[in-house]
Each structure stands twice: as structure tokens, then as C-alpha cells.
Amino acid sequence: MTGALSGFRVLDLTQVISGPMATRILADQGADVVKVEPPKGDILRAMAEPIGAGPTFCTINRSKRSIVLDLQTNAAREVLLELVDQADVFIQNMRPGVAAKLGMSAEEVRARNPKIIYVSISGFGETGPFSGKRVYDPIIQGLSGLTDIQGGVQGPPRLMRVIVPDKVTALTAAQAITAALLARERTGQGQHVQLSMLDAVLAFMWPEGMAYHTLLDQAREQVDRRDLVYPTLDGHIIVSTVAYREFEGFCRAADTEHWLEDDRFQDAAGLITYARERLELMAQALTTRTSADWLVRLDAEDVPCGPVLARADIHQHPQVIANQILVEGQHPVAGTIRQPRPAERMDGTPSLIHSPAPALGAHTEEVLTALGITGHRLTALRASGAFGQSVNPGD
């Protein structure tokens, strides 16, 4: 069996997280992702030990092939355009205008191959006062309101400790690419997909994160959502009572059924109106027993709950083991590597980790040979500096 995207070729000119994670999803799903790197490689290669194969780079660049092209040279740009002829997707996350300076704008690439899906990922979009700014994930967190949500109504803004904007953008890009490929199958037409990190994050956070700014004809007081991590006698657990029957179950588990006689908590609307008071009462009750005791009692009443795991313990949890989420394999430089398998499970076209993250330029000769570039032309390209000094294809 082959992956769902087997037979599609993706030219990946992206670096760091948002683009490479998007193309890793496509690669695990069977697409032939050719990672086109500058002579010094994706800048993420140098940001962790071991150099060239740090943990983040390995996880988001698996299942791909790497070639090196110095796109500052005319010879390398011509090679890339020849690869465009055979590609289904061209994706770049350069700042707006940079691809055009290299002769790789959407208009130029699509003129060469009208059926290609050309994807531009940017930080802030193609226009506007921030369009030309350098950007990383924390900048988007601040502009999008994520830091305001984390800080709460009374607290100072706080960064989320995982790079949500980068990864949300990656997921959005991967979905948009497959949608564009499906549309092309129906119409025969390629298209230009434009996506900014800011666009992706605002769409992601809006449904509940911006609930007080959605229904403009209804004035609502913004209140903090209480942190649902509750201290217990010996640790912490998560408890979430959304439906009224779940609150009833909590009261039975906590031996606090008299709360159900409180005028504030007579129905689901009351649970929302007096959420702060209700959650404070629950927090006080949960300090009286151990985490294990609470999880047994709450599960018996079908109340949504779960443990709070340290990162070092996640791989040992029975549910993680049962789902076979984490897999281990060997990387030729980094050694044994543990990482998640593809999250989706398809019984007809399974997604797989096809290969470890490639060494810089490891597939340059392979890809160029398949393109018909051999012999004297390969020698001439090497002499022209098309590959920089990082690889010597054909030696």
C-alpha cells in the first residue's frame, strides 16, 4: 500500500518550522518532498546539537529528500525551474518580495507550470505595515492576542511555551495544499495559496478565545477562564464539568450534593453565570484527596478528568502506549530518536515515517540524475557554484 499523496512531488523551499512541518505532513502521507536548501542549509540545522540533526529538525524534516541549490546563481535557478516542470506543489516561506527577486514569484513559477500549486507562507501577509518585518512565533503570539489570553484579564501578557502560531500555520497549510490538489484534480487548474501566520492564528483562536468580541450587538463582560489544573492532596489533575450532568456527577464524587440545592447552580446557565464561584468550590474540594483517588471517583461518575503528566512521563502512560503514538528509530547522526507517528490512521493509504531527516544535500545527485542532469552538465553546474561548497554531486 502507498500513502494518500503518493505520486505527488513537492518542492519545499521553506525553513524553520511553519513550512517544514507542513511539508513533513505531506511527506508522511506519501508525497515526494524535495527539500531545497541553501549551501549552509535550513537555519534550524544549526540551532541545536548535534549540528545538522537537532531534535526539532529531525522531527519536522523526516520522510524528505534534501538537495542543495544556491539560488543566488543563475545556474541553480535554472535547475530549480526544471524541477518546477515536474512538480505538483511549490512552497516557500520567504518574506514577501524575496521570491520575486530570485525569479521564483508565483507568476513566474505558474507561467512555467500552470498546474502547479504555489504556496506562499508569510508572517503578516503580503501587504500592510508589517508585511516586510522579520518574524518568529513569539511576535505573532503578541499581535494575535494569544499572550493576552495567557495573561488573563488581570495578569500581565504571557507567552505560550509551545510555538502555537508556527504549528497552527503548518497544519493550515497542509490542509490547504491537499484541498488545492483536490480542486486541481477536478478542474485541471493550479492556483496560488497565500497564508500568513497571523491569519492562521486568528482563525484558530477566535471561536472561544475571542467570544467576547464576536457578537457585536450583545455587550458581554470579559472574564477569565479559570485554569482547570487543580491541586490535589499529592499533585494535580484536570477536571472539566461542561454539561450539567457532569457537575452533578462531580457533586456525587465529592460528597457535595448539597451544592445542587444552591440557587446559583440549578441549571447549565447558572453554572456559566457563576462559573468563578463554582470552580472555586471545586478547587477547595479537590485538595482533600490524592490524585489517584479522585480519578477513580470521578471516572465512576463519568466526569471528564485526567492526570497532569510531566513531559518525561508521557511515553510511559498506558493510553499513549495503547495508541502506539510514539515510535523509536535510528538516525544516522543523532542516534536513537523517539517521535510521534503520523497522527492520522488510514487503513487504505497509511501515513508512515518513510525515512529519517536527511543530511544536507544528501539527495542532490539522485534528484538531478532523475532530472537528466549528468556528466558534463553536472560538472559545469558544480563549477558555476550552483551547489555552493556544501556538496559535490557526482564525485
Cβ atoms of 104 and 72 within 8 Å: the answer is: no
Cβ atoms of 247 and 278 within 8 Å: the answer is: yes
The set of cell numbers assigned to 262 is 444552591
The set of cell numbers assigned to 264 is 446559583
Q: Which residues, in sequence order, are bridge partners of residue 124?
A: none
Cβ atoms of 73 and 389 within 8 Å: the answer is: no
Please tell me the total number of residues recorded for the chain in this structure. 395
Residues 119, 195: Cα–Cα separation, whole Å? 8
The set of cell numbers assigned to 153 is 484579564
The residue annotated as part of the active site, out of 32, 70, 166, 224, is: 166
The rounded Cα 228 to chain-centroid distance in angstroms is 24
* Residue 224 designated active-site: no
Residues 248, 43: Cα–Cα separation, whole Å? 53
Residues 139, 101: Cα–Cα separation, whole Å? 25
The set of cell numbers assigned to 189 is 487548474
Cβ atoms of 192 and 106 within 8 Å: the answer is: yes
Going by DSSP bridges, is the β-strand pair 89-92/9-12 parallel, antiparallel, or unpaired?
Answer: parallel
* Side-chain half-sphere exposure of 172, counting CA atoms within 13 A: 24
Q: Which alpha helices (H) appear in 122-196, and where do they start and end?
A: 137-144, 146-151, 164-187
Q: Which residues, in sequence order, are bridge partners of residue 305?
A: 239
Q: Is 165 helix (H, G, I), strand (E, B) or coil?
A: helix
The set of cell numbers assigned to 137 is 512565533
Cβ atoms of 231 and 286 within 8 Å: the answer is: yes
Residues 248, 246: Cα–Cα separation, whole Å? 5
The rounded Cα 232 to chain-centroid distance in angstroms is 33
Residues 67, 106: Cα–Cα separation, whole Å? 21
User: Catalytic positions, please?
Assistant: 166
